[in-house]
Structure 1
């Protein structure tokens, strides 16, 4: 019995150490990711410009090459850099400079993960909302869309109205776990919404209209109870928001 307890304790300790190592590596990778992104956003490394070699970058940032590669991998996923075999990594897109104004270094990596998580969670919530929503919930969605439209027309930020729309979609799924998960990450979501809507306000009216049209597509699919269309519309909307931040345009 004592031997089994010692084995279990050793296993738990090993798992805890592994988790701490993974968390430390993730934090280091996030820091490198954000610092490279800042250089690209500021124009220090221009579009078409080549990044320093992995050896130079890892030495410059004081991290191992595996940690550096995690950061470069995320930049590739974002569409910011592209790598060519035997040639190196090049800047493909320059995210909007306003990113560094509305999302200071230290939060950018978490905003990226929030978009990814929201795509998965809210896409499924929208699908269920289309199947289960009540007449009253549909009316609440329409009200939140009308408030968003007012914000667009008057040039207001509209973060609260945007958040309310997405929250109602989740509650319309008739599954409280979607609501609970969203509530637990409310601060991260608001940070992302502040960023995306501030960026939209700094662009043309067409940008605001495009974002509003995406909300309307989600509503229309839920209204006609087309579950797959609602899921696809929600996922496309959140992914487009991510692209507008990290890919630019």
Structure 2
């Protein structure tokens, strides 16, 4: 494992997550082979320029993924079977990574919205409408409406009546939507942007209400494309 100071990590939102990501890259690239022992906590702390508690938490993350296993008295080893856990670790600072992320989201969320338009019942429609109205109310009160936004999209997932869409949507909620949450919080003061987002939500609802799968797909695609642009605006603001 390369021990040059270039591996040192700049202080950010989550050092353990970043360390875990770096170690994962070393494993994926073959720098640390499956079945091989990881460097000691002391060695890893020196490599990445962080404290040993940060290393311990990073190792815990890798263990929860099944990528690292403990052998009593011998240390931490790369699981020879590899990890069976699907992960998403997007970064707001990496434009290429965000582009790949939204391409992936497009394939999942557009399909889910299309399925919701096809499968929704009256109770689903009432739930989606309620959360959309709650979002509108929050916006009128000058709030960012982040939680209401999340509930709106969650109601759409439930309207698919497909357990896989629902379960995977919950995974995306925990791993990805926090990025959208951050961007929305940072740009919520822009009244023009808030109104545009709400118009996009209305278009999605109208298509689902009409059970128009083509328009639902179109509205969801437009919403995600615009969400990507809003994240770009956040990036520009945060780097200035």
TM bucket (normalised to shorter chain) is 0.5 to 0.7
Q: Return the match for 2:29 from 16, 21, 27.
A: 21
The total of aligned residue pairs comes to 152
Residues 1-249 of structure 1 mapped to structure 2, 5 A cutoff: 20-21=28-29, 107-109=92-94, 112-203=99-190, 205-246=191-232
The answer to whether the 8 Å contact 2:92/2:179 transfers is no
Aligned residues: CA RMSD: 2.8
CA distance in 2, matches of 1:141, 1:208: 19
Q: 1:82-110: per-residue Cα shift (whole Å, max 9, x none)? A: xxxxxxxxxxxxxxxxxxxxxxx955446
The answer to whether the 8 Å contact 1:111/1:191 transfers is no
The answer to whether the 8 Å contact 2:118/2:212 transfers is yes
Q: TM-score, normalised by structure 2?
A: 0.57
The answer to whether the 8 Å contact 2:91/2:98 transfers is no
Q: 1:168-203: per-residue Cα shift (whole Å, max 9, x none)? A: 111111211111111123223331232231233132
CA distance in 2, matches of 1:187, 1:178: 14
Q: Which sections of structure 2, spanning at least 5 residues, go unmatched?
A: 1-24, 33-89
CA distance in 2, matches of 1:178, 1:211: 23
Counting helix residues as a fraction of each chain, which structure ranks higher?
A: 1
The answer to whether the 8 Å contact 1:145/1:165 transfers is yes
CA distance in 2, matches of 1:231, 1:22: 40
Give the number of the structure with larger relative contact order, counting CA–CA contacts within 8 Å between residues 6 or more apart: 1
Q: Which sections of structure 1, spanning at least 5 residues, go unmatched?
A: 1-16, 25-104
Structure 1 23/157 Cα, relative in aligned 2: closer, same or farther at 3 Å? farther
The answer to whether the 8 Å contact 1:123/1:231 transfers is yes
Q: Secondary structure at the match of 2:176?
A: helix
